[in-house]
C-alpha cells in the first residue's frame, strides 16, 4: 500500500493534481509501478478536501476507486499523515478486500481525534490557528480502536 498526500503523489507521478480525475489518474500511474492499494490521503480540489482510494485487485484489471470528502478543521496538526497511514494499514489487515471500509474507519478515527484535539486546546485557552497542535492520541484511544463511521466512501463508476 502506498499512502501519499497530494504533493507526494504529484512528485511520484510527475504530474499536477488539480482535479479529482487527476487524482484517480495518479492512482493508476502508481498502480502501474506496483502497489495494488493506493490512498491519496488528502487532495485539495476546488476548496474541497478529499481522500481518493484505489484498489487494483488483479494486475491488468481496472481498480476499484472511491472518494471520501473530509471536512476541513481550521487548525494545523503534526502527525496526522503518519496516523492515517498506520490506521489504513491496520484496518486493511482486518479488511484486506475492502479498502473503502478501511478508509472509512481511518478517516472517522482521525477526524474524531482532531476534533478532540481542537476542543482540548481551546478549553486550555490556546489559539488553534497560531501554531501546530500535537494530536491527542492517548486521550482518543476509543476513537482509534472503535471509531463511529461518520465518513463514507463514495465509489466511482
Q: Which three cell numbers stand for residue 128?
A: 488553534
How far does CA 49 lie from the centroid of its chain? 10
Dihedral angle computed from the Cα positions of residues 53, 67, 96 and 32, in that order, rounded to the nearest 10 degrees: -20
- Secondary structure E strands in 89-157: 132-134, 154-155
Q: What is the DSSP letter of 138?
A: G
Catalytic positions, please?
82
Amino acid at each position: 500500500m502506498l499512502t501519499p498526500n497530494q504533493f507526494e503523489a504529484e512528485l511520484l507521478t510527475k504530474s499536477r493534481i488539480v482535479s479529482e480525475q487527476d487524482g484517480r489518474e495518479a492512482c493508476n500511474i502508481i498502480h502501474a509501478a506496483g502497489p495494488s492499494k493506493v490512498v491519496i490521503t488528502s487532495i485539495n480540489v476546488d476548496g474541497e478536501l478529499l481522500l481518493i482510494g484505489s484498489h487494483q485487485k488483479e494486475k491488468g484489471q481496472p481498480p476499484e476507486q472511491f472518494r471520501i470528502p473530509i471536512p476541513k478543521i481550521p487548525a494545523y496538526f503534526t502527525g496526522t499523515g503518519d496516523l492515517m497511514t498506520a490506521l489504513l494499514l491496520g484496518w486493511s489487515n482486518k479488511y484486506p478486500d475492502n479498502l473503502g471500509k478501511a478508509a472509512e474507519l481511518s478517516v472517522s478515527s482521525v477526524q474524531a481525534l482532531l476534533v478532540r484535539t481542537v476542543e482540548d486546546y481551546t478549553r486550555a485557552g490556546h489559539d488553534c490557528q497560531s501554531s501546530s497542535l500535537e494530536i491527542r492520541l492517548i486521550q482518543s484511544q476509543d476513537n482509534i480502536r472503535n471509531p463511529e463511521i461518520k465518513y463514507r466512501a463514495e465509489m466511482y463508476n
